[in-house]
Structure 1
Amino acid sequence: MNITINKKLYDFITEDPSILTDKWLSTRANTPSSVYSCDNHQAEGRLREQNGLFIRTVANVLIASEDTVNQEIKAWAQTVALDRVETRTPIHEVIHQFKIFRGIFWDHIREFVSKHKGEISESDIFHWSSLIHSTFDTVIGTFAEQYFTYYSGRLSVQSELINELSVPIIPLSDTIGVLPLIGEIDTQRARYITESVLMQSKDYHLTHLFIDLSGVSIIDTMVANQLFQITDILKLIGVNVHISGIRPEIAQTAVQLGINFNKIPTQANLKQALKANKILISDIH
């Protein structure tokens, strides 16, 4: 390895990172709502700072140890991945920008080679090619991992919020509540419903809970078993559960799957369920 020429290349790349960044930013198209849009002036300063650090991180592979470079790559990837997730930038857009900038980066190296022909051997060029391409690939891979981590975390938070908002017990009186369930209920949501219903029933001091399924399109055996568990758990704390609104297609599927709702009081709709238990809407204040 030619340490002297590596240092010269490093200095050439990092002396003025804005040269490379300007060339990269000049390739941007007018893409509304994208962080990479040429008319997104608010993001431009951030892009310049991030790309300047990216240039120094990649160039550092010429003079620094592998451990040092990997630490810098991870730090850069964490910062930029979080920014792209927060700006809702699709990962394919980011990968496309990596591709564009890789070409610009290598054009800059070619300029250096043309200026120092007598000092550079063929083995130096092959070494740089292997080293820098490998570093770009490592950055892209590390970025993708960090992006997935942050994106998955955000989806998890949003999912929890949606679940929380979609399991509201409506108190009809001091001891009576209604839980209208809407949409598809998968195993994960069913577990959340169990936890939420137990907590809300205790908070509201309920003695009767009417679960209305008229807005639910599919119930499988696992979800049905979860509903049975809700019933059993609530009975232990003194809450009687009543089911209403089982749609005909769900009832037919339940029979085919061998799901038995006989141990839970059921009615065709919520009004009938309330009436069957001598609860009149007009009596509720």
Structure 2
Amino acid sequence: MHRNHKLYHFLVERTWSLTENWYESLDKENSLGVYASNDPLVIDKVKQQNHEFHIRFCKVFDNNESSEQFSIHFDEWINSISKDEEHLNTPIDVILHEFFVTQNQYLDLIEEFVRTSSETYSQETINRWNRVVIKNFNYVMTVFTREYHAHSQLRLKAQQELIIELSSPIISLSSSLALLPIVGEIDTDRARFILENTLNQCVDKGIRHLLLDLSGVVIIDTMVAHQIFQLIESLSLIGVKATLSGIRPEIAQTAIQIGIDFSKTSIVSSLEQAIATSKTY
């Protein structure tokens, strides 16, 4: 049995010194993210988070704490830290390094406890305590890495969606006329977003005529070209006239090769022409 009342209290009494010693040992000049911050609020928060870690971790030696309770309480801490914005802005390898530093703090404290204790503990008992520390740090780091990755992916997806949205704006030119300038590389996901976002915004804004300018698009593949012209057909179904401008020769060739019919599409060579021919709207 690894639980020991005296060891537990020995560790609990040193939780704040563990935090302060850990923070003082940080190489802030060469560190990154949350550990390099000079913001007093960030520094205070990361210390509180570290101290909360110790309060929960010490319970692994508490006679009144079951293994199930320990996991539940620690999972709460892990979930909170893994989605913390400051930690998400810190490379995962830097965070894991600090976990290993903290693990060594516990191994050193166990050594100190044995050395200063009035009781004598067998090497088997000491080894058991050390294995418990390492085992539970492995658990914490494994779960933290998994949760950190999950939250990072969610944040990345949200950022990508925002970038796509900002890169495909519907610009109102009048109460019923709008411009959609498409710039940069278009992949399948972005083309799908443009289709959905454009239809929704045209309905919301009461647009009757949309100028779709492709002069900022260098190249698109056949699937994307099909989706762009599918957008034009979808616009007509909701009563919106579309005028295409700025089609490069490569894009025109791709459209012809996949059999897109231009006969019902209003096409002009430039955005200036498109605006000039839309004066009646």
Question: Do the two structures share a fold, i.e. TM-score over 0.5?
Answer: yes
Q: Shorter-chain-normalised TM-score: which range?
A: 0.7 to 0.9
- CA-CA distance at 1:240 after TM superposition: 2.2
Query: What's the secondary structure of 2:278's corresponding residue?
Result: coil
Residue type of the partner of 1:268? S
Of 6, 9, 25 in structure 2, the residue corresponding to residue 8 of structure 1 is 6
Unpaired segments of 5 or more residues in structure 1? Answer: none
Q: Distance in 1 between matches of 2:23 and 2:204?
A: 56
Residue type of the partner of 2:58? A
Q: Distance in 2 between matches of 1:194 and 1:178?
A: 14
Query: What's the secondary structure of 1:158's corresponding residue?
Result: helix
Residue type of the partner of 2:217? V
- CA-CA distance at 1:200 after TM superposition: 2.1
* Aligned equivalent of 2:76: 75
* Aligned equivalent of 1:46: 45
State the 4+ residue runs in structure 1 displaced beyond 6 angstroms: none
Corresponding position: 1:19 with 2:17: yes
Residue type of the partner of 1:247? R
**Residues 213-258 of structure 1: per-residue CA shift (max 9 Å, x gap):** 1112331222222212212211111222222212344445x26x93
- CA-CA distance at 1:50 after TM superposition: 1.5
CA-atom RMSD in angstroms: 2.7
- CA-CA distance at 1:158 after TM superposition: 2.7
CA separation of 1:43 and 1:175: change in aligned 2, threshold 3 A: closer
More deviation, 242-251/20-29: 242-251
- TM-score, scaled relative to structure 2: 0.85
Q: Distance in 1 between matches of 2:173 and 2:84?
A: 45
Q: Distance in 1 between matches of 2:242 and 2:178?
A: 10
Q: Distance in 2 between matches of 1:167 and 1:84?
A: 27
Q: Distance in 2 between matches of 1:86 and 1:181?
A: 35
**Structure-to-structure mapping, 1:79-158, within 5 angstroms:** 79-85=80-86, 88-116=89-117, 119-158=120-159
Q: Distance in 2 between matches of 1:193 and 1:2?
A: 59
CA separation of 1:116 and 1:229: change in aligned 2, threshold 3 A: same
* Aligned equivalent of 1:175: 176
Query: What's the secondary structure of 2:72's corresponding residue?
Result: helix
CA separation of 1:192 and 1:86: change in aligned 2, threshold 3 A: farther
CA separation of 1:105 and 1:114: change in aligned 2, threshold 3 A: same
* Aligned equivalent of 1:270: 271
Q: Distance in 2 between matches of 1:174 and 1:43?
A: 47
- CA-CA distance at 1:140 after TM superposition: 1.2
User: What count of residue pairs does the alignment treat as equivalent?
Assistant: 276
**Residues 61-118 of structure 1: per-residue CA shift (max 9 Å, x gap):** 2232221111111111122223354672222221121122222221111111222485
Q: Distance in 2 between matches of 1:22 and 1:86?
A: 19
**Structure-to-structure mapping, 1:236-251, within 5 angstroms:** 236-251=237-252
